[in-house]
Amino acid sequence: MEVNGDQHNDANADIENITNIMPNQDNCEDFGDQYKKKTQRKVSKVWDEFTILEIGGNKKVKCKHCKTLFKFSESGTTTQYKRHQAVLNVS
C-alpha cells in the first residue's frame, strides 16, 4: 500500500495532537487541596463535656468535670467517654 505525502503528514499531525493532550508534569493542573481528606465535625454530645488536647505530640481527651485524661481514639469512637460520663452521672 502506498501512502502519499499528505496522508503521512496528516497522520503525524494527529499523533502530535494526541501527545499534546496527554497529561505530563508540564501541562497538568495543580489541584492543590481539592482532594485532601475533609475533617468531620464532631457531632456526639460527648464533646460538650470533653476537650481534645495535644500533650507531647499525642492527642488526649480531658474530662471537663474531673480533669481525667484519656487516650484520643483515632477511629472516632466515643464509647469510653460516654461510659465515663455515666460513672459521673453527667448527661
CA triplet 28, 31, 36: central angle to 5 degrees?
140
Q: Which domain holds residue 9?
A: 5-28+41-88
pLDDT on residue 63:
96
Q: Do 81 and 70 contact (CB within 8 A), yes or no?
A: yes
Question: Which stretches of the chain drop beneath a pLDDT of 70?
Answer: 1-34, 91
With respect to residue 83, please indicate whether it lies within any of the assigned structural domains: yes
Residue 4 carries which DSSP code?
Answer: -
Q: How far, rounded to the nearest angstrom, does the alpha carbon of residue 82 sit from its chain's CA centroid?
A: 27
With respect to residue 33, please indicate whether it lies within any of the assigned structural domains: no
With respect to residue 20, please indicate whether it lies within any of the assigned structural domains: yes
pLDDT on residue 56:
93
